Amino acid sequence: MEQRDMRAIGRCFGTAVLGPRGQLVIPAEARKELGVDTGNKLLVFGHFSGWGLVLVKVEAAEELLNVMSNRLDEFAKLVKENKTADAGIEGEGKRS
């Protein structure tokens, strides 16, 4: 049986307790391994149908958006080529 890469699933760093003022302490090992430091901004997403949260460093989200933005032209070209190819196939079927 093929072994799964645990990084794709995520890693559990332990527990954190939400304080009375809504503050959450991220475990030190997680902060160190993930490069989260005092003053870093994190985006907070709801996940698992409201059963969980996902925290993402703003810098990581910005980097992802930049990569996606740079690839939009490439994706648009692929979509256009696919539509052109599909139109050609449909046109051949009508001629037969």
Does residue 63 lie within any of the structural domains?
Answer: yes
Helix and strand counts by DSSP (H, E) for the chain: 3, 2
CA distance 2 to 8: 14
pLDDT of residue 3: 56
pTM score above 0.75: no
Does residue 78 lie within any of the structural domains?
Answer: yes
Does residue 26 lie within any of the structural domains?
Answer: yes
Does residue 24 lie within any of the structural domains?
Answer: yes
Domain ranges, residue 47: 6-95
Per-residue pLDDT 10s for the chain (96 aa) are: 455 565 566 788 999 999 999 999 999 999 999 999 999 999 999 988 888 888 889 988 888 888 888 888 888 888 999 988 887 776 666 655
57 within 8 A of 41, measured Cβ to Cβ: yes
- Give tens-digit pLDDT for 3-22: 556 556 678 899 999 999 99
- Which contiguous run of DSSP H or E holds residue 55? strand 52-57
Does residue 10 lie within any of the structural domains?
Answer: yes
Does residue 1 lie within any of the structural domains?
Answer: no
Single-letter code of the amino acid located at 34: L
DSSP β-ladder status, 52-57 and 42-47: antiparallel
CATH number at residue 64: 2.10.260.10
Does residue 17 lie within any of the structural domains?
Answer: yes
Does residue 27 lie within any of the structural domains?
Answer: yes
> How many domains does the chain contain in total?
1
